[in-house]
Structure 1
């Protein structure tokens, strides 16, 4: 109750200093003494300390119009006009005067003293920042993704996900249309940069027109503004590539972006190590479920305990992959759209690795050695069909999605000198439909109707031959093998109705929802005996859990905006009923819970482009079916998991502060933030580890976890060097507990990471790119004097990549890339690697063809070692790599 009173007090304080945001308009015209208009001059409003409040270019007639917040003192501002060939003009802004006629005086310029450079161009209009693609593009660029990486303030990770000034983008539009349905990675890797006029960053983006001005938003979206000439015809590309040893890389795509019809269809195939699966991944899948619980449990079975190395996939991914990505959007009539997104992935890949894991308990060290060769054959198919109308008076959307994901794996594994074969199969069936209707019932008020329905199942099978660990699994008797089966069929429904009132000082939104969840967890653990019989695990019976969760949910949301302040208070209340039973264990529980999850966010605009924000959230969460089953499941060849606890419940306090700074004219972007989380749970995972098997049981003990982190990012375009520079840094500490062999081990982990980067064109023919990453990780016991907490671990890592480009003649591009990695760990030798690649490309404009030779791993490195560190566990992994490859590609532009 004290925290609630404090939250209400903070809200009242904010309300005291908040009201509606009003803006003043300053307009005028630029002309010479002869009456000639001065077009495209930069008009800037500045304060006395030279801070920029807003700016805009004059139009072709010399007119300009600027918006100013009413919180600033007009008499302390002035209008500054700069334009080549004219003297700088400074005009004070007078109280009550809104229209200005500014006379510009021409100035003779000595051209011999001017160094002409192609300056990248950006412009700002309200919350939209536009990057001129042509001024950022280089001759060697092929797709719009190549150019976005070079834009200051932008980040693009290896999967293709984009951030602007530290924030993930919520949508990527093509000429205002959401063609790719949040799977925009294929778009940035396919759309030629020559088709795009501008990359528009839309801050505080509200995608639904009917909610504009009625609901606050912090989303950031990108829009690719297509050139007029590119809208008129079909474009595309055919790529044919072949090389050694036995390599192929093929692609065909077709692109059309006009007002009536948009399409982006891509067919790919390769065995060069390029993983096509990320192009089928949604980066910001809309939240269909409430934050009160997640109905989709994580997969339970796997073939091993080792992940992939932190390298590009073309180093270690032995594959034969093919994919189809078809995206088609039809503007049918009067603002209605029909969109289809279909994807298909067929793949066969293999991985060969060795893993050593050490766990320190008291004076003992438990070792696991795992050597595995595994082949996987995923088959993924997805289809979505959306009918949408986004209008000023209403928003309508019906989205139907079908998904099928089949994963098959087969491999040979050696564990602690024990040979075995494994077969894994997983089949995901996923169906969902979302219906959303938001009509305006008056000028300021809207209602919203939503219904989301989902069916999901993921049956999994893990077979192991021959029988292993007979003393643990089969009473010491020899046997042939193990078969583990598990499935979690799930039905989920969420229906809601809401009403929003946007008139008055405080915008109000009330939503009532009913959420229903029906789920089962069925598992069978069988042992194939020598006489042909299949017997169950002697430890306990199989799982046949029936689970239901029903919730009624009322959310009251209050939004306030006045002057430089924005404030949002959310007060969600829910009544939750959970029932689960499994007759084999005499398990029959019913829980009623009243949950309150308030959240509060406030933002203060220091300048037009700078703001400081703070947020707080208190969350009550309950577990799902994965936390209450009592029958043992063999999740992998050496891990048994079960539960012996009540339903998991967790409450957490989350606090954060962020500072966002940007200067569009100087292309400077800075972000910084801190966050703190304190979570308390009523259960803790207890692990029992021996030299052959690991058993995990969820126990009913209070468990506290706390985490604090701080991060900052800087990005700047240096005009003198023609370079985009940046640096990111983060520091974090986490305190947590783990139960290991009946011993409670409290630990504290600390990590620090710094990532500098620069991309510059040194001369017209030479370019340089550098990206670095350094990290320091320590893991310490909180009580170093108690038995078992005497181990402290430290790892230092650096990863540096540089790329040198050279264009000896027009339309010929050479590039050499190198990557150096260094790892230092206590009591082991340091590890160093240097990878090198080369690429040469020649463009034949007459034939609209590129010829490219790509050589990877020049040093022919065929093995790679890594360290991992977590509390009192130390891991060493050894991977086999692909070795040297050379591929010759022909790219025909249609």
Structure 2
């Protein structure tokens, strides 16, 4: 399949390139001066359809590539205050210069008709009004309807299937990647258009030198100075519900700010709006989403694959403030200050049934294990950030200082209904209860600096990043008999202590050398990473604690020294962009177990190249290709010799039986063909990715139904994965309809030792999605999404095959009998099937909204989950363990909400 698809892509691309012709030249006026922004179109004679088009640059130069079977074609040139030119050209490569005569035009009457989508250079502009419906209120409501743009559940904006690297408002990056707040709270009425900046390089001094494969989004507001924002206040019942959202915003030419307070207990995780969704360019320094180092966890109930408003039992308060200002007269300098605080509590509960098929290695004659889990999670998270930036064409400077703190507490009450003996399925089950608690405070500090200084005709870049992180976790499980199989039956409670510290230091220097369309960037750097893990398990009996000995303790150091040198080679022309990075990396890694006096090290110099290229052709087509090779020699926490409770049902030792360091080699390659035609509102892309991961270690599980132990074994194995995908979308202006269809196919394999038995499994998964929205009638709007999936899991060791499938569809329809009234209906339907089990979960919602048009205030009443469904049911399979798991997850009952929504000005 892979070879056939690759051959088709190569042949198809070859045919296109063979048939493609190009015309180029210079356009001037009667005085011989270059004419910029003149439009050049190629059409077939007698047909009112544009084959290709181009726009002249500041020097009057134009270049248009086209494909046609006609022997002659019509070339048309238009420019402001110039007489249009129409001439016949031959279907062949050629160069032609044109001189346009002046033609002053008296405008007696002006009629403006906004185009839905326009393109100029690498910028595609979308008129927001053309895609909205009467029920849309915020930018996010409309953005997901625009062709070529998707919005993930976590708020990440995708363009042509790839995440954007920047989110601007009036050309300024206030949110620095955490754009969820603006996207969800910026009123659509304040926006004039959305611009997609293709191949966007955020660092101004590097534009036209170092290409980028990612796009950015710029939100153009109707006014250069805008005071706006969005607010909601709501209440409801079943149980008592409340919702508050207050997000005032100001966007000026010198200053921008957003203040955000959101709190609710109606199932909306507003705290995720503070997550980093875009990371800009590597030349801006290092930024990452802060995360705790997780060594151990309580048992956790499952999460349904539905919208969080249906299952999330929360009580959250989230505050954030973002400020951008230009502190000096030189507006190139910007100061940004960001702060946020989250206080959140979440309840979660489920009932899980595990059925092992006869012959399973986990339970020899099969068996059924039932467990129920009840969780309470309490999170307190604070973040502060200060960013000082100069992003000019003659220099770049950026310093980012970030502080994060977490104070989290997790609780779990677990009831496990187990067979008393592995082979006696008729005996009375045994109930084993556990009360589990986890305290996990963490603190992080990071400072990242990057500067680019022009030196003669060269660019010199210095980058430095220092990060310190400290994590502490204390897991307590009561009673200890819950884990008899681990040897803890004599204790009333068991406590797992872990402490870890990490210090990262990264320094680098590079010089950019330009020659015509080429840029060469030699770079030297040093990465240092120092880590320590200490852990111990204690047992409590009659009020006294006892350490369980060295087998249950760790004092581990993991240190890395990585000097490297690399050369970046970049080529950029009008149609072709090429980026190749050729690094030679030296890895010096040491692992030291201070308790067991074991010492391992790995010293190796490796070549880890990375390449991507893009080619624009035939005006609307773009072909991407990428390939890379990388090594992984493990990271902090990959190895430790003392046993740790990673959760109350899993006791792990991560150490190789032959005492060797990990060495994983990953190679990947892929391509993507895109078509973007704003003239007929058509977009599509075809993707192919292939990767291999060659490993020298393998995870070895020992499982007895309910509990498991893990260690590492030395065994070479290779994991392979390939994915094919396609997406096509078109907007039909005449019918005011946006339609897109997408599909993927993924094939992969995996290896593991399971109860001393080496097993290989293969997985084949297909997905298909359809999105449709229509606003043809002024009194009706319809949004419909459906996604389907199929998977086949095969245990190659014994040819056991499990199949599963599922689908998920959502229908949202709104009726507008007048400007003041809106009636809404929502239908979610989700289904999963596996091994003869089938579960279908259906939800219905109704809403009514009265709009005070003059004041732009909405009064909304919602009835959610009309059928009062209380559990979400699903089924999945594990082919290696010959295990079928069904899960009932408790969700929010039927509820009523009354909400007042308004804009700030």
- TM-score scaled by length of structure 2: 0.87
In structure 1, C-alpha distance between the alignment counterparts of 2:356 and 2:682, rounded to whole Å: 47
In structure 2, C-alpha distance between the alignment counterparts of 1:726 and 1:65, rounded to whole Å: 39
Counterparts of 1:342-353 in structure 2 under 5 Å? 342-353=339-350
Partner residue of 1:467?
A: 480
Partner residue of 1:398?
A: 399
In structure 2, C-alpha distance between the alignment counterparts of 1:545 and 1:500, rounded to whole Å: 41
Deviations 1:501-520 (A, max 9, x none): 12145321111010001101
In structure 2, C-alpha distance between the alignment counterparts of 1:864 and 1:615, rounded to whole Å: 41
Partner residue of 1:329?
A: 324
Give the counterpart of 2:432 among 418, 422, 427: 418
Cα deviation, residue 367, structure 1 = 4.7
In structure 2, C-alpha distance between the alignment counterparts of 1:545 and 1:869, rounded to whole Å: 36
Q: Is the 8 A contact 2:409 2:439 kept in 1?
A: yes
Cα deviation, residue 813, structure 1 = 1.6
Cα deviation, residue 826, structure 1 = 1.6
Superposed CA RMSD in Å reads 3.4
Partner residue of 2:162?
A: 167
Q: Is the 8 A contact 1:627 1:698 kept in 2?
A: no
Give the counterpart of 2:757 among 743, 757, 767: 743
Matched, 1:781 2:795: yes
Matched, 1:183 2:178: yes
Cα deviation, residue 276, structure 1 = 1.7
In structure 2, C-alpha distance between the alignment counterparts of 1:658 and 1:369, rounded to whole Å: 46
Matched, 1:844 2:852: yes
Partner residue of 1:582?
A: 593
Name which of structure 1's ranges 260-269 and 556-565 shifts more when overlaid on structure 2.
Answer: 556-565
Partner residue of 2:426?
A: none
Cα deviation, residue 482, structure 1 = 0.8
Q: Secondary structure at the match of 2:693?
A: strand
Deviations 1:599-651 (A, max 9, x none): 23333323233122222211112101212111111011110111221221100
In structure 2, C-alpha distance between the alignment counterparts of 1:470 and 1:598, rounded to whole Å: 48
Counterparts of 1:173-572 in structure 2 under 5 Å? 173-228=168-223, 231-245=224-238, 246-285=240-279, 298-333=293-328, 334=330, 335-358=332-355, 361-362=360-361, 364-365=365-366, 367-416=368-417, 417-443=431-457, 445-469=458-482, 471-474=484-487, 477-504=489-516, 506-530=518-542, 532-537=543-548, 540-562=551-573, 564-572=575-583
Q: Is the 8 A contact 1:657 1:673 kept in 2?
A: yes
Deviations 1:324-364 (A, max 9, x none): 12111002221110001111111111011112234553554
Matched, 1:869 2:883: no
Q: Is the 8 A contact 1:276 1:345 kept in 2?
A: no
In structure 2, C-alpha distance between the alignment counterparts of 1:640 and 1:753, rounded to whole Å: 36
Partner residue of 1:8?
A: none
Cα deviation, residue 118, structure 1 = 8.3
Deviations 1:412-437 (A, max 9, x none): 11123211111112122111111111
Q: Is the 8 A contact 1:323 1:345 kept in 2?
A: yes
Structure 1: runs of 5+ lacking an equivalent: 1-16, 30-39, 58-62, 107-115, 784-788
In structure 1, C-alpha distance between the alignment counterparts of 2:672 and 2:272, rounded to whole Å: 30
In structure 2, C-alpha distance between the alignment counterparts of 1:221 and 1:474, rounded to whole Å: 56
Cα deviation, residue 782, structure 1 = 2.1
Cα deviation, residue 183, structure 1 = 0.8
Partner residue of 2:748?
A: 734
Partner residue of 2:34?
A: none
Q: Is the 8 A contact 2:700 2:712 kept in 1?
A: yes
Q: Relative to structure 1, is the Cα distance of residues 599 and 95 closer, same or farther in structure 2, using a 3 angstrom cutoff?
A: closer
Partner residue of 1:139?
A: 134
Q: Secondary structure at the match of 1:683?
A: strand
Cα deviation, residue 885, structure 1 = 0.9
Partner residue of 1:791?
A: 800
Q: Is the 8 A contact 1:602 1:613 kept in 2?
A: yes
Q: Is the 8 A contact 1:239 1:890 kept in 2?
A: yes
Q: Secondary structure at the match of 1:309?
A: coil
Q: Secondary structure at the match of 1:284?
A: coil
Cα deviation, residue 711, structure 1 = 0.7
Q: Is the 8 A contact 2:413 2:433 kept in 1?
A: yes
Q: Secondary structure at the match of 1:378?
A: strand
Q: Is the 8 A contact 2:627 2:668 kept in 1?
A: yes
Partner residue of 1:889?
A: 899
Q: Is the 8 A contact 2:65 2:618 kept in 1?
A: no
Q: Is the 8 A contact 1:296 1:490 kept in 2?
A: no
In structure 2, C-alpha distance between the alignment counterparts of 1:161 and 1:568, rounded to whole Å: 25
Q: Is the 8 A contact 2:373 2:414 kept in 1?
A: yes
Q: Is the 8 A contact 1:796 1:824 kept in 2?
A: yes
Cα deviation, residue 800, structure 1 = 0.9
In structure 1, C-alpha distance between the alignment counterparts of 2:142 and 2:124, rounded to whole Å: 16
Q: Secondary structure at the match of 1:311?
A: coil
Q: Relative to structure 1, is the Cα distance of residues 101 and 556 closer, same or farther in structure 2, using a 3 angstrom cutoff?
A: same
Q: Relative to structure 1, is the Cα distance of residues 412 and 52 closer, same or farther in structure 2, using a 3 angstrom cutoff?
A: same
Counterparts of 1:851-862 in structure 2 under 5 Å? 851-862=859-870
Cα deviation, residue 368, structure 1 = 4.0
Cα deviation, residue 210, structure 1 = 0.8
Q: Relative to structure 1, is the Cα distance of residues 262 and 436 closer, same or farther in structure 2, using a 3 angstrom cutoff?
A: same
In structure 1, C-alpha distance between the alignment counterparts of 2:97 and 2:124, rounded to whole Å: 28
Matched, 1:666 2:676: no
Structure 2: runs of 5+ lacking an equivalent: 1-16, 31-36, 418-430
Aligned length: 842
Cα deviation, residue 127, structure 1 = 0.3
Partner residue of 2:116?
A: 121
Cα deviation, residue 55, structure 1 = 4.9
Q: Secondary structure at the match of 1:792?
A: strand
In structure 1, C-alpha distance between the alignment counterparts of 2:686 and 2:610, rounded to whole Å: 21
Deviations 1:242-262 (A, max 9, x none): 111211111112111011110
Partner residue of 1:879?
A: 889
Q: Secondary structure at the match of 2:309?
A: helix
Name which of structure 1's ranges 759-768 and 367-376 shifts more when overlaid on structure 2.
Answer: 367-376
Q: Relative to structure 1, is the Cα distance of residues 67 and 408 closer, same or farther in structure 2, using a 3 angstrom cutoff?
A: farther
Deviations 1:136-182 (A, max 9, x none): 23222111111111111111122211111111111101111111110
Q: Is the 8 A contact 1:71 1:563 kept in 2?
A: no
Q: Relative to structure 1, is the Cα distance of residues 809 and 715 closer, same or farther in structure 2, using a 3 angstrom cutoff?
A: same
Q: Is the 8 A contact 2:497 2:537 kept in 1?
A: yes
Q: Relative to structure 1, is the Cα distance of residues 196 and 597 closer, same or farther in structure 2, using a 3 angstrom cutoff?
A: same
Cα deviation, residue 701, structure 1 = 1.6
Give the counterpart of 2:825 among 816, 819, 831: 816
Q: Is the 8 A contact 1:835 1:857 kept in 2?
A: yes
Q: Relative to structure 1, is the Cα distance of residues 243 and 541 closer, same or farther in structure 2, using a 3 angstrom cutoff?
A: closer
In structure 2, C-alpha distance between the alignment counterparts of 1:159 and 1:470, rounded to whole Å: 37
In structure 1, C-alpha distance between the alignment counterparts of 2:610 and 2:580, rounded to whole Å: 6
Counterparts of 1:607-646 in structure 2 under 5 Å? 607-645=618-656, 646=660
In structure 2, C-alpha distance between the alignment counterparts of 1:242 and 1:766, rounded to whole Å: 28
Partner residue of 2:53?
A: 54
Counterparts of 1:698-777 in structure 2 under 5 Å? 698-777=712-791
Q: Is the 8 A contact 1:294 1:624 kept in 2?
A: no
In structure 1, C-alpha distance between the alignment counterparts of 2:550 and 2:191, rounded to whole Å: 63
Q: Is the 8 A contact 1:296 1:456 kept in 2?
A: no
In structure 1, C-alpha distance between the alignment counterparts of 2:380 and 2:290, rounded to whole Å: 24
Q: Is the 8 A contact 2:135 2:814 kept in 1?
A: no
Partner residue of 1:35?
A: none
Cα deviation, residue 458, structure 1 = 2.1
Partner residue of 1:99?
A: 99
